[in-house]
Chain A
Amino acid sequence: MRQLLLKRLLQLIAVSWGVGTLTFILMRSLPGDMAYRIAASRYGMDAVDSRAADIVREELGLDQGALSAYWQWFTDLLSWNLGNSLVSGAPVSESLWHMLGHSLLLAGAGMAIALIIAIPLGLASAYWGGWLDRILLTVSTVMRAVPVFVIGLLAVIVFALEWNLFPVAGFGTPAHLVLPALTLALSLAAISNRVIHTEAKRVFGSSFYEFARMKGLSPWQAFKHHGIRNIAVPVVAFLGIQLITVVEGVVMIESLFSWPGIGHGLAHAIFARDIPLIQGAALMMGVMFVVLNTLVDIACHYLDPRGGRIA
């Protein structure tokens, strides 16, 4: 266990450095004059002339060489200083924390709803089978074929525009959270209910489960003592693989619903060429990803202490 954590920590450091360097190189090689773009996003498209661009260039030190800029960024990173946003001038780390909160809220709500949908459906379809199973298989297959933003779009059309139940976009009230979280949940549940179904079917059909029922346990007792944990291990491990769906879904959904999270921030930063913010957001996503994966590893370890299954 300790070795695993140590390995993950080393991975984290290597990954942060790699991701940071990569984004840095990529962003330095962007075509066009950065000073103009930044001046445009600061003062508006019409107010930009070469004088404004020059002022921006001088103020931000944009004319220094790539190598020295990289060195400066790297030393800043070591002291946990992610720099200031080129556009707003606010510290990147501050806006990152702000965005992270919103993203985690969305991801958490989405995953919670997904589990609420997927677990009963997956178990029920494994237990009873028949038409319920076939309907769920069809619905899941169709849902997997449409990208997450299409689900979001349809949700907007049905719930926001036709029925006027929830706001189209924005944030603030709990009502604003409903559609984005539901969209994320549906796209996640489409996959996970099938995984739960397969695992539950395996357990229900196994000889140890049959023996538990045979020796006189009620269906609930058998499920509680012999079912849950056996079903949970592969499902949690699969959740780890699904994390990537969560993160990518969050990026798309935030852009669609103007939810002020990291994905939305990243997309905006790319448009505005806000290098520190892009680096910060990409770095944050990389770090978050590794950390969440570690948590899944630990969860699997505790669910199945026999070990040996942790990669």
Chain B
Amino acid sequence: MLALSTTQKSGLALLVLLIAYALCAPLLQAGDATTQNLSQILTSPNADYWLGTDHFGRNMWLRLAEAMQLSLMMAALCVITSAIIGVTAGVLAATRAPWFDRVMDGIVTMILALPGLVLVLIFAAIVPGSFWMLYVAISLIQWIEYFRISRAITQRLTQSPAVQSSKLMGFGEWYIFRRHYFPAIMPPLFTIAAFGAANAILMMASLGFVYVGIQPPLAELGLMIVEHFPYYSDAPWLLAQPLAALALVVLACQLMGRGKSL
């Protein structure tokens, strides 16, 4: 498959580690992420609470894991959805009637006219605190990159001798896609997906930060940063946790997407 560079391997390792934490952390400690214990607020990490407790005495080890689950799920959903839609639309635009291409081009121009975050903000305003609305909005922005890349590559390939002879030999369109288009689209797709995942996580955290994303008491990285900020002088480690988690997840994705050039 893909030959990974050292940078990409370290990104992958980091990501696997974070996913393992998000999935396995609840198995290692009993309790749940929303139970409050007001006699135990803002405790520093100890044997009972491995990452301490927050301002409501909630177990940070579990809360952080839940927030990570949410972020990673959003990233995975957005990447899968937008990749499928984008590649399908891109290949179709390059191979079908020109009017379809023009229509797609118009749609893309219109969506790109508005900065992504503003579009997501407006969507988030319709149904405040909805995970699915954010998912729709982020995917709506992200499919464009897959579309552009796969359209450009497919367009170049349709005129190539390999595809031409495949067509002349009477192979079906699905075969041509599988045999010629997809292998060419795959490598840049991987890079876009890695950066797209990072962006989806950042976008969700940004919305949580301006308070229009996921609503409390759900654990979300951006929201936790706002919630913990007032306690930063009493409990600096508390604020540091969501910050570090967010930075690590995004860093892992970006390292994975890093090619050999930069």
Contacts and interface: CB of A to CB of B under 8 A. Distances in A.
A247 B115 CA distance: 7
Contacts, number: 111
Contact of B212 (A18, A19, A147, A267): A267
B261 to A, nearest CB: 8
Interface string A242-253: 001001100110
B115 A19 contact: no
Contacts of A256: 209
Contact of A248 (B113, B117, B124, B243): B117
A289 B262 contact: no
Contacts of B123: 26
B231 to A, nearest CB: 12
B229 interface: yes
B247 interface: yes
B contact patch SS: helix
B243 A150 contact: yes
A286 B122 contact: no
Interface string B121-140: 11111110000000000000
A144 B125 contact: no
Contacts of B250: 145-147
Contacts of B37: none
Nearest to A30: B126
Nearest to A144: B254
B177 interface: no
A248 B116 contact: yes
Contact of B229 (A153, A198, A270, A271): A153
B225 A11 contact: no
B202 interface: yes
A282 interface: yes
A270 B123 CA distance: 10
- Counting contact residues on chain B (CB < 8 A from A), the size range is 35 or more
B113 A147 contact: no
Given A147-B205, A153-B225, A285 B210 contact: no
A14 B126 contact: no
Contacts of B248: 145
A266 B212 contact: no
B240 to A, nearest CB: 11
B114 A289 contact: yes
A248 B109 CA distance: 18
Given A19-B114, A146-B243, A26 B126 contact: yes
B28 interface: no
Nearest to A255: B210
B251 A150 contact: no
A105 B251 CA distance: 31
Contacts of A228: none
A142 B116 CA distance: 23
A141 B254 contact: yes
A19 to B, nearest CB: 6
Nearest to A18: B110
A285 B115 contact: yes
B116 A270 contact: no
Given A157-B232, A266-B121, A267-B212, A149 B206 contact: yes
Contacts of B114: 19, 282, 285-286, 289
A281 to B, nearest CB: 8
A289 B113 contact: yes
A223 to B, nearest CB: 23
A278 B122 contact: yes
B113 A19 contact: yes
A53 to B, nearest CB: 20
A102 B110 CA distance: 26
A153 B232 CA distance: 11
Most buried by B among A26, A31, A150, A289: A150
Given A14-B109, A15-B113, A289-B114, A150 B127 contact: no
A27 to B, nearest CB: 8
B117 A251 contact: yes
B141 to A, nearest CB: 10
A244 B111 CA distance: 13
B189 to A, nearest CB: 19
B251 A141 contact: yes
Given A251-B121, A286-B113, A147 B246 contact: yes
Contact of A282 (B118, B205, B206): B118
Interface string A228-244: 00000000000000001
6 contacts: A26-B123, A147-B205, A150-B246, A157-B232, A252-B206, A289-B114
Given A146-B247, A150-B246, 11 more contacts: A14-B109, A31-B127, A141-B251, A145-B198, A150-B243, A150-B247, A252-B209, A252-B210, A255-B209, A270-B121, A278-B125
